[in-house]
Structure formats: C-alpha cells, structure tokens
Amino acid sequence: MRSGRVWVLCLFAAGAVLWGQRERFAPSQEVATWEYRSLVPQEVAPGSYRQVDWYDVTRMGEQGYELVSVTPWVIRNDERLYKDTAPKVITQNYMAYYFKKPKALQK
C-alpha cells in the first residue's frame, strides 16, 4: 500500500518537473524562417536554352537574398560538323541559382 503512494508521488513529481520545463524544450517563437527563390535557364525552343542573366543574379542580392547554391540545370551535348574535320562534341552547361533570405518575424 505504501509503495503505491510512493509511485503516485513520484509520477506527480515527474509530471510537475516536465510541466515546468515545457518552455525550455518547446520551439522558440523567434526561430527565423526562410524565403527561397531560384533562377533557372529558360527553354526558348525545343532543346535550346537561355542562360540566366548575371544581372538577375545580382538583382536578387540587392533584394536581400543570399546565394546558397549553383547547380547544373541542363547539360547539353551538341555534335557540330566543321569543314574537313571530324565531328566535334560541344558540351554546354546551363546553371541554376538558388537563394534564401530570412522572413520578417510576425508577432
């Protein structure tokens, strides 16, 4: 009978301790969230792309975005024939740019 009361008291004490620590382990309301944007090559004709203009990349920086990644978006191999030579394969890389900036905290 006595051990039952001890268990109840221990459970009550553990619950009180956990209740008191709830704010410590809860996610902070001031955690920054992010806005994401990307600039990718545009397809101007079937199988033909236009590179991202560097002006657009710098404009994103002026808007407060941070460049976080640059990756190949399209890798295109063209075989071109030249006079009196064997065909040559020309590889073109079209890059995609990824940005982020912190969102304004809403209260």
Query: The pTM is what?
Result: 0.61
Any domain includes 22? no
Q: Per-residue pLDDT tens for 54-81?
A: 999 999 999 999 999 999 988 877 776 6
pLDDT score for 51: 92
- C-alpha span between 40 and 106 (Å, rounded): 30
Number of domains, the chain: 1
Any domain includes 17? no
pLDDT score for 98: 97
Any domain includes 79? yes
Looking at the chain, list the stretches that DSSP marks H as alpha helix, in order from N- to C-terminal side: 2-20, 22-25, 54-62
The strand pairing partners of 78, in sequence order, are 90
Quote the domain boundaries for residue 93: 29-102
Alpha carbon separation from 21 to 15, 27, 65, 104 (Å, rounded): 10, 12, 37, 28
pLDDT score for 1: 61
Any domain includes 36? yes
List, for the chain, all residue ranges whose pLDDT scores fall below the cut of 70: 1, 19, 22-31, 80-84, 87, 105-107
Any domain includes 12? no
